[in-house]
Amino acid sequence: MSRTSDGEGLALIAVKRAAKTIMTMYAGEVNPKARLNERARIEYIEVWDQSYHTAAGVHPKMQLPEVVQKYGELKEIMMSEIEAREYATFAQQPVGIQLRLKAEDGLAGVYGEEERTTTRYSPSAHVFSISINGAGKKFSSAYTDLKSDCTSPMAQSPEGQHSSLYCKGQGGYRIHIFDTAMSVHVNVETVDKKVSIPLATQSLDYDR
């Protein structure tokens, strides 16, 4: 096992056999540069190697028609808006398992104009990875009130300088809202500022 990260700056753990990464794990850690905490509890596993499979026999690199034989009718393929990652849902897919797709010739799904969901797919579409996120686990939500839970780190005049707000967050994180010359940014970051993840950006010349 060794420390690794992803495009979002998460502190991940790479599990390797020889030089090949066979799975990555997340254990609730914040700093991607910190050494591994062997007492941390694993919350999420993403498996990349085809030698690992679910109880029904579904594994990475399996073609979609074969998955249908294991998990029933394909209900939906969804493409995420930011990363353009594709995920499939099947009628008999177990709770807590997520199937990420890929294709050899582009997108796995065949989408209509401006669509991000479909039931049609490329002939080369296959399972790229299998994620396990705690079968049967119930999740709760917590919110930050942007009207009352935010403070400015400095006295700000109405004009002539950039605005900056820090809003109370959850679990060692906070929301940072600030502007640059051309846009407003919303980031989530750790209180020590060692990790900062962009959430949204809005151009200052918008008309809505």
The Cα diameter of the chain in Å comes to 64
Q: Which of 37-41, 70-74, 101-105, 161-165 has the lowest mean pLDDT?
A: 161-165
Looking at the structure, tell me whether residues 11 and 69 fall in a common domain: yes
| pLDDT tens per residue, range 68-77 | 999 999 999 9
In a domain, 56, yes or no: yes
Average pLDDT, the chain: 86
- Domain final position from 75, 98, 132: 132
Cα Rg for the chain, rounded, in angstroms? 21
Among 7-21, 55-69, 93-107, 132-146, name the most confident range: 55-69
In a domain, 184, yes or no: yes
Looking at the structure, tell me whether residues 163 and 63 fall in a common domain: no
Cβ atoms of 11 and 40 closer than 8 Å = no
Q: What is the CATH number of the domain that holds 66?
A: 2.60.460.10
Looking at the structure, tell me whether residues 170 and 118 fall in a common domain: no
In a domain, 100, yes or no: yes
Domain around 46: 2-132
Looking at the structure, tell me whether residues 34 and 122 fall in a common domain: yes
Cβ atoms of 174 and 189 closer than 8 Å = yes
Instruction: Look at residue 207 in the predicted model and tell me its pLDDT.
Output: 65
Residues 6+ apart with CB under 8 A from 84: 107
Instruction: Look at residue 195 in the predicted model and tell me its pLDDT.
Output: 81
Q: Of residues 30 and 153, which shows the higher confidence score? A: 30
Compute the distance between CA of residue 10 and CA of residue 195 in angstroms, rounded to an integer: 8
Per DSSP (E only), the strands in the chain are 2-4, 12-17, 20-26, 44-47, 74-79, 86-90, 97-102, 117-118, 126-132, 150-151, 164-168, 173-179, 183-190, 196-203
Q: Percent of the chain at pLDDT above 90?
A: 42
Structural domain count, the chain: 2
> Average pLDDT in the 179-193 region?
84
